[in-house]
A and B are shown apart, each in its own frame.
Chain A
């Protein structure tokens, strides 16, 4: 029954989306299916289908193959629900849900759009929806039934049974799929209206929304890896991680390019290109992750037919948009040139580096595929390559990012700029030296990281004080400016966090018996107890550590080692004590006779990685929340 509802809803949604695309000129052949109603119905049916699947998971309806493969009656309810999108078919359904949801949002809430343009945009969005629904129906239907009905399911990967991971995909998808509506806006604009600053104003809130949620989604995934994968890392340059970072870089470039288009009515073709490129990288990311072309533990189960289908979908959207741009580029009139020393000059610089990094990451991620194809050689391109290239490219970007908001549009004064930089330089060097004094055993490059973070921080803060006349004019500051400030500060804090975490970490691996202790920095970590534990679908051990600093009790940490019998999978539940400026991290490894091996970290500034990311998210949402939707 559930499967029937699920399937029929999908079919209805497919038909309506197809109709909405065909009815691109809104000739109202079917009276009641005007664009607004059509998109609302699409949303309704996909939502119904999604809820059907969720219902099946909640009641453990194992007659549905997808539920059987990815769930188990012993799973806690929360993870039954989040298991809906912890697999290929369910997550594709989530993807489509967000697609129609954005269409619905445009239809219901964006009052600035004139009807013809809105109709066109929704039609193109419906085309995207239609193609993905076809993909689901033909290759990835979550409602396939099995018979006889198994008694129980095969359980979900225990690594995914986790609150952090519950929220990671939905946020990420809002980001990825938000880029689709920008794509639709852009294609539609070729046929109705021109690419001018009013268009930039139209798409800006949607770019901000997508960008913010991409930021949040990526940082949630990274945070999850940190505490769940149980060994202290937060970013591994895995192809799946890169697949989310590439659209993010593109969206960042697009966000800034849109600003230039809005304020100076220039960089038209470039902004259009970035709009296309952003969604393209969302699609390519989907392809890399789901097609099986890159083998990765993170990737969903792959199937070559699916891979070809996704590749064709990517090719269709990417080529049609590029060809459209090629054909119509001539009709886009651009006159103004840009002065290097100006706000738009710095944004061009930002865009150059963002795209350079984006392409570098793309090449690094796909190089093993190409090399193997042409030479048969199998190599890895891992963290060392990406860390090196990223820091080299981002270094100059951060340098400029600091003073870019200070510059005027159109043209600013080079020497005037230099003198303002003196203060920032002095403060940054001061902070860098102080940090070197505190942490002198760290590598020299850590100082560079702290310097860059401070440089960005002080530049942003000083600009903020100047613009608000030292907070006197604070209430006249518009939200976007405040949002930008918070976001840029967030980046600075993020950089400091990454520097501290990567370069100043104190790490020890020790085998301990109960009663023994280890010294970590100024802390004494006493291994006081070990006990057996049992959860709803796992068994394991839990160690109890009591942390003391100079004989004063600080906290108890209880790392666990679990074993999930159904999937024969061990996990490490690290225990983390996060104190704002640093983390103490304990992970259990394996038992050796009557001792246990533990890994201990003292990670300075690590919480700042996520504090900074959240700040960037908040900044973006703040800018988005500006009164953009009321009236023209």
Chain B
């Protein structure tokens, strides 16, 4: 019986640690996408500035409250603008940005067709 109780306690406790670790991981994932607006192009995960620390704490607290990544990023964008997102959203403003690499490669392929000769 005692062993059983101990087992239950350990399981509950490790669930907590496990959940904690998962939360930590999620927090870092989000942190890597948020720009430290007072640094160069670092994310708040990469910077130890005061604002970065405060934002990291905020994100962790909000995750603990149960907020989703979307809710958290919306909260930040409402106050700091889209500038705070390191990964630009995909919307009419940024279609050109996201499609550019593909267009360039296709353009390049088209341009070099002329110099190849068949085997």
Contacts and interface: CB of A to CB of B under 8 A. Distances in A.
A contacting B, Cβ–Cβ less than 8 Å: yes
A380 B101 contact: no
Contacts of A239: 41
B42 interface: yes
A345 B53 CA distance: 51
Given A371-B93, A383-B32, A233 B115 contact: no
Interface stretch (A21-29, A78-86, A360-368, A623-631): A360-368
Nearest to B114: A337
B98 to A, nearest CB: 8
Contacts of B1: none
Contacts of B39: 297
Interface string B91-116: 00110111011001100110010011
B43 A379 contact: no
Contacts of B108: 352, 355-356
A339 B117 contact: yes
Contacts of B104: 356, 359-360
B85 to A, nearest CB: 6
A231 interface: yes
B63 interface: no
A237 B41 contact: yes
Contacts of A233: 42, 46
Q: Which of B35, B48, B117 has the most CB of A within 10 A?
A: B48
A364 B104 CA distance: 13
B81 interface: yes
Interface string A219-238: 00000000001111100111
Interface size class of B (residues with CB under 8 A): 35 or more
A587 B46 CA distance: 12
The secondary structure that dominates the A interface is: mixed
Nearest to B109: A352
Given A297-B39, A375-B93, A380-B41, A392 B117 contact: no
Interface of B: 28, 32-33, 35, 39-43, 46-48, 53, 81-89, 93-94, 96-98, 100-101, 104-105, 108-109, 112, 115-117, 119
Nearest to A589: B48
A339 B35 CA distance: 46
A267 B101 CA distance: 24
16 contacts: A231-B42, A236-B40, A296-B41, A340-B116, A352-B105, A352-B108, A352-B109, A356-B104, A380-B85, A380-B88, A382-B86, A382-B87, A383-B41, A393-B101, A589-B48, A590-B53
Contacts of A384: 32-33, 86-87
Given A231-B48, A236-B41, A352-B112, A377 B82 contact: yes
A380 B93 contact: no
A45 to B, nearest CB: 36
Contact of B116 (A237, A339, A381, A589): A339
Contacts of B35: 380, 382
A267 B112 CA distance: 11
Nearest to A508: B24
B52 to A, nearest CB: 9
B40 A297 contact: yes
Q: Which of B41, B47, B86 has the most CB of A within 10 A?
A: B41
A381 B97 contact: yes
Q: Which of A233, A378, A382 has the most CB of B within 10 A?
A: A382
Q: Which of A296, A297, A589 has the most CB of B within 10 A?
A: A297
A572 interface: yes
B60 to A, nearest CB: 10
B116 A380 contact: no
A380 B83 contact: yes
Nearest to A383: B86
Given A236-B40, A375-B93, A587-B48, A389 B115 contact: no
B41 A356 contact: no
A14 B112 CA distance: 43
Contacts of A296: 40-41
Contact of B48 (A230, A298, A359, A381): A230
B117 to A, nearest CB: 4
B115 A338 contact: yes
A470 interface: no
B82 A379 contact: yes
A377 B93 CA distance: 9
Interface in A564-612: 572, 587, 589-590, 599
Nearest to A297: B40
A379 B93 contact: yes
Contacts of A240: 40
Nearest to A372: B83
A473 interface: no
Contacts of B32: 383-384
Contacts of B47: 231
Contact of B46 (A232, A338, A411): A232
Contacts of B100: 359-360, 363
A507 B115 CA distance: 50
Contacts of A236: 40-42, 46
Q: Which of A233, A338, A356, A384 has the most CB of B within 10 A?
A: A356
Contact of A337 (B85, B87, B88, B117): B117
Nearest to B83: A378
A339 B87 CA distance: 40
Given A341-B119, A356-B104, A507-B28, 5 more contacts: A267-B115, A359-B104, A367-B96, A383-B43, A590-B53
